[in-house]
Amino acid sequence: MTERLLSQLAHVEILTPVPDESLRFYTDVLGLEVSSRNGQSVFLRGWGERFYHSLQLTEGPAPGLGHIAWRAQGPEQLRTAVERVEAAGVGEGWIDADVGQGATYRYRGPGGHLHELFWEVERYSAPSGMESPFPNRPQRYVPRGVAARNLDHVTVATANPGADAAWHRDTLGHRFMEYTVIPERPDWIVFAMTTVCERAHDYGLVWDPSPVRGRINHVAYWVDSREELLRAADIFLNQDIAIEFGPGKHGMGEQDYLYVREPSGLRIELNTGGYRNYEPDFETVRFEPQQGSNVFYKNAALPHSMFESFPPVDLAPETVEETKAATGLFA
């Protein structure tokens, strides 16, 4: 049984060496809204999001991860979560309130990724003219570009996806939903998914064969329907943004997917569909690649470029071949 300490994935900070080009992608092509700019960062959100931001875009030397932020279930659960992280010996301490959030505790996960935990959150308030005609929406729907509605998940690259996922389950109450192994190495998890909400994952973990810690594989945003996902494919192509993989459907989580690269090279996914699950005692599902873990429609194969994470690391050709063989995931 899993105790619920965290309520949702709140936002992700990503780094870009081409901030102007990246910002244009997120606003004009993905359709996100700018909440504010502060220093080297721009704070963005989808039209359906109630919080101040779901994406912090920060200028940096290379595409990569800044941090991942989780909102607690309440003030007591935040204290419990911090105690757990401190007991695990990976706490980095409290920082004062930051843009969009109150007091925040930072920890570094087993894969070297920086995470934040907080409870108090600043909510978006629509300026005059942007109010929605519907009382349950935070703002008017603006059909600009893809018009992504909200953040869906973040997928990191980590040395041991199974152990990292289990750590987040045991320490912070994530539900460990699904994982992939290849038949020849049944003890080695190459991809894992955890969740703190009703979706099959808000946190993905893929094996990183590089020695670099704390890398990110992609950030995913949500659209409401497969029609919108297909329209997004058309929008990307007409903006000269190459599609890396999809549109298609994953077996794990059953989500429809579409992957592109933003101008920094960082991978962005769009999702829709998928199952919802509310079982606190959900039994973790094991997949083998040939069962359709990545590709529900088994006539498609994952291109090896999908294994590239950020910041980019030049892997020796033998390491690339090793990853292909060790994961069994690629064409």
Chain residues that interact with Fe ion, rule: CB under 5 A: 155, 220, 269
Q: Which is nearer to Fe ion, 58 or 155 (CB)?
A: 155
Q: Which is nearer to Fe ion, 104 or 158 (CB)?
A: 158
Closest distance of CB 116 from Fe ion, Å: 21
Sheet with 215-222, strands from edge to edge, namely: 243-249, 255-261, 267-273, 215-222, 150-158, 203-207, 185-195, 175-182, 285-287
Q: Which is nearer to Fe ion, 42 or 189 (CB)?
A: 189
The Cα-based distances of 1 to 85, 164, 255 in angstroms read 19, 19, 25
Closest distance of CB 139 from Fe ion, Å: 26
Q: Which is nearer to Fe ion, 52 or 221 (CB)?
A: 221
Closest distance of CB 197 from Fe ion, Å: 15
Q: Which is nearer to Fe ion, 162 or 248 (CB)?
A: 248
Closest distance of CB 229 from Fe ion, Å: 13
Closest distance of CB 187 from Fe ion, Å: 24
Closest distance of CB 149 from Fe ion, Å: 16
Closest distance of CB 271 from Fe ion, Å: 7
Q: And the tokens for 50? A: 């109630």
Q: Which is nearer to Fe ion, 211 or 276 (CB)?
A: 276
Phi, psi of 155 (to 5 degrees): -120, 125
Amino acid at 104: T
Q: Which is nearer to Fe ion, 139 or 155 (CB)?
A: 155
